[in-house]
Amino acid sequence: MRKKLIAGNWKMHLLPVGARALVERIRAELDPLAATLAKDREVMVAPPDILIPAVAQALAGSSILLGAQNMHFEDKGAFTGEVAPPMLLAYGVTHVILGHSERRHIFHETDDLINKKVLAAIHHRMTPILCVGETQDEHDSGRALDVVLRQLQRGLEGVADDHVTRMAIAYEPVWAIGTGRTATPAQAEAIHGAIRGAILERYGRERADTVRIIYGGSVNDENVDSLVSKPDIDGALVGGASLKADSFARIVRARTR
């Protein structure tokens, strides 16, 4: 059975005091349920890099995992403004969101660059969460699946058979991110099924059945149940609603069947 992954992407929000307070409130809601939740789901939060030390401290002793929103692919060097995988590992970061649409579209990250980051994450035994998703235009012109499968294929270039199961894929239709419009469970499930199909074709049944494919795009405490109860939707990548402890905790407690 694949454990659901509920991941909060805090984007460029919060200051240290607010970040610590948010973790405290999330922990107050979720720590008492930790043993039950751990049976079938994992929870992760990805603060901005500069808040990682404060959040790592605030998470001490909890089962909530720590993620990053991005990273460079080199271990060190003359890359002003960048953060290297060993720096994240030093603070207990286990997951890294890669290829988020905001990175692709605002910061012009290419499939090639994202692929290098995926390979670096795997090399460092982190869990890359590879984001794929079509724009509104691509959606409207019926190209969603083509775009998603191309991003997937290019993101997975060079990922060995034994390593693909360490990854998670996030299907995040760009038109649903931060817009309050979400893909219907049926729409999302169709794309998730196709992603799993592509992984199956390349890596075989057992690995395809292991890789988690999570959905992102205006997930909230009202729509999460219907999304994550679909068989191929293995959790959620949550932006806005992850900044409110009660909403995030409710999303974590989603009904999954």
Task: Give the span between the Cα atoms of 242 and 11, in whole angstroms.
Answer: 10
State the amino acid at position 241 in one-letter form: A
Nearer to ligand PEP, 70 or 208 (CB): 70
Site residues (CB under 6 A) for ligand PEP, limited to 70-109: 100
Task: Give the span between the Cα atoms of 55 and 139, in whole angstroms.
Answer: 37
| Residue with smallest beta-carbon separation from ligand PEP | 239
Among 42, 72, 95, 100, the active-site one is 100
Task: Say whether residue 177 binds ligand PEP (CB under 6 A).
Answer: yes
Q: Which of 104, 138, 239, 249 binds ligand PEP (CB under 6 A)?
A: 239
CB-CB neighbours of 224 under 10 Å: 26
Among 42, 102, 138, 172, the active-site one is 172
Least separation in angstroms between CB 52 and ligand PEP: 17
Task: Say whether residue 172 binds ligand PEP (CB under 6 A).
Answer: yes
Least separation in angstroms between CB 77 and ligand PEP: 28
State the amino acid at position 73 in one-letter form: F
Contact 40, 3 (CB under 8 A): yes
Least separation in angstroms between CB 66 and ligand PEP: 17
Least separation in angstroms between CB 237 and ligand PEP: 5
Letter string b/e over residues 41-55, b meaning 16 or more CB atoms within 10 A of that residue's CB:
bbbbbbbbbebbebb
Residue 97's contacts (CB-CB under 8 Å, 6 or more residues apart) are 7, 9, 46, 67, 68, 69, 70, 129, 131, 170, 237
Residue 172 designated active-site = yes
Site residues (CB under 6 A) for ligand PEP, limited to 10-69: 11
| Token duo for residue 119 | 């390979």
Nearer to ligand PEP, 30 or 236 (CB): 236
Task: Say whether residue 127 binds ligand PEP (CB under 6 A).
Answer: no
Task: Give the span between the Cα atoms of 253 and 40, in whole angstroms.
Answer: 11
Contact 35, 49 (CB under 8 A): no
Task: Say whether residue 219 binds ligand PEP (CB under 6 A).
Answer: yes
Residue 100 designated active-site = yes
Least separation in angstroms between CB 83 and ligand PEP: 19
Region near ligand PEP per CB under 6 A, out of 33-41, 122-130, 157-165, 212-220: 212-220
Catalytically active residues are: 100, 172
